[in-house]
Amino acid sequence: VEIVARLNGFDIDRKLVQDFATGAADYDVAWDHTSFYSAYAPYLEPLNAYFSEEELAAFSPAIIESSTIDGNLYLMPRHSDISVVHYRTDLYEDPANMEAFEAEYGYPLAAPETWQQLGEQARFFADPANNMWGTQWAGKDEGLNGRFMELLQANGGDILDAEFHPIFNNEVGVETATWLHDLYQDGILPPDMTNYVWPEVFNNFCNGSIAVYTEWYGWYSSLQDPDGCPAVAGNFGLVRAPMGTTDRHSGWAGAHGYSIVGTSENKVAAAQLIKFLTSEMVLYEESSQGALPVRDDVWARVIADAETSGVPLDVERLQIAQTQISEDFTTPPLISDWLAVSNIVFPAVQEILITPDIDIQARLDEAAADVEELLDDAGYYS
């Protein structure tokens, strides 16, 4: 097998968009992601003819559904991820913190079940003078837009409605954006957060600078490494992503996987490679390193392994993840212009975060009008 490019997900996405647009996609198999593949589905080979129903039955139905547009399967999943709360157990279980928090907020200090609780707990722990921040998220690109989306959904809103009209500027959107704005302006979020993507977010929690936040499961083994992350290894817990003002848990999720390029001259061989790369044998080895499984047979094996580790969180992590993937798994809309929409929304959210006296309604209205124009021009409403 010849590897023609080894890049991070965002850079591979940019390469695929460019290669498909220019006809330069001279390879057979491409990395893909449930958040991105809809942008170039016309350039991908439907996989239905290469995988039997029996083969597909081994995979999570929610992920297979998120990899399918108009009945065409375009992506075979490799591993999945979904937002989960990470919180510092050494801080939450400290008796002095527990007493002070309950005195201030009127309820016991425990891992947050709602976004309101997460915000209150973040405020309690924030100590900017000592480089201690209450919470954080990725602060740019699709990472920020995805967090905004899952907050909206937990509060009963969304980025787009069922007809793809923007609705993030409604009352729910303004309230959600205001909550984020206030956290930033009050010094609860790191001041340079608008420069963060995933590595920066990981590093902050790893070095002990964050009390509680939502993060991907994929960092787990690194965070439990006492040499690499001595401040938090063995000192954090996980709970299901919070609910907002509704009883819906946040569930921004996605799956990495593989697609066959439509121009491939070796489609059968490409399918055989993907079958190998997504086999129980290979995906068990990858999941043993911390990636969340996408196959039921792999789930069973890694849970059995975790039960022998002597670390209770190893098992709890997988149990929480199974529940979330079964009940909360939510991808962005499977439309080709999702990233273009994201590139309009996230700068608006950034501006709302960092601007002290901004008119939040007006800024969201401006972004919504731009999204409406984009999707109208692309033919979504005709």
Q: How far apart are CA 294 and CA 227, in angstroms?
A: 29
Q: What is the pTM of this model?
A: 0.91
pLDDT tens over the chain, length 382 residues: 999 999 988 899 999 999 999 999 999 999 999 999 999 999 999 999 999 999 999 999 999 999 999 999 999 999 999 999 999 999 999 999 999 999 999 999 999 999 999 999 999 999 999 999 999 999 999 999 999 999 999 999 999 999 999 999 999 999 999 999 999 999 999 999 999 999 999 999 999 999 999 999 989 999 999 999 999 999 999 999 999 999 999 999 999 999 999 999 999 999 999 999 999 999 999 998 888 999 999 999 999 999 999 999 999 999 999 999 989 999 999 999 999 999 999 999 999 999 999 999 999 999 999 999 999 999 999 9
| Residues linked to residue 357 through DSSP beta bridges, in sequence order | none
Q: How far apart are CA 217 and CA 260, in angstroms?
A: 27
Across 132-150, b (16+ Cβ under 10 Å) vs e yields ebbbbbbbbbbbbbbbbbb
Taking a C-beta distance cutoff of 8 angstroms, is the pair 176, 49 a contact? no
DSSP secondary structure letter of residue 241: P
Domain locations in the chain as residue ranges: 9-81+254-321
> Which secondary structure element, helix H or strand E, spans residue 109, and what is its range?
none
Among candidates 132, 158, 269, 281, which has minimal Cα distance to 213?
A: 132
Among candidates 236, 186, 181, 240, which has minimal Cα distance to 209?
A: 236
For domain 9-81+254-321, give the CATH superfamily.
Answer: Periplasmic binding protein-like II (3.40.190.10)
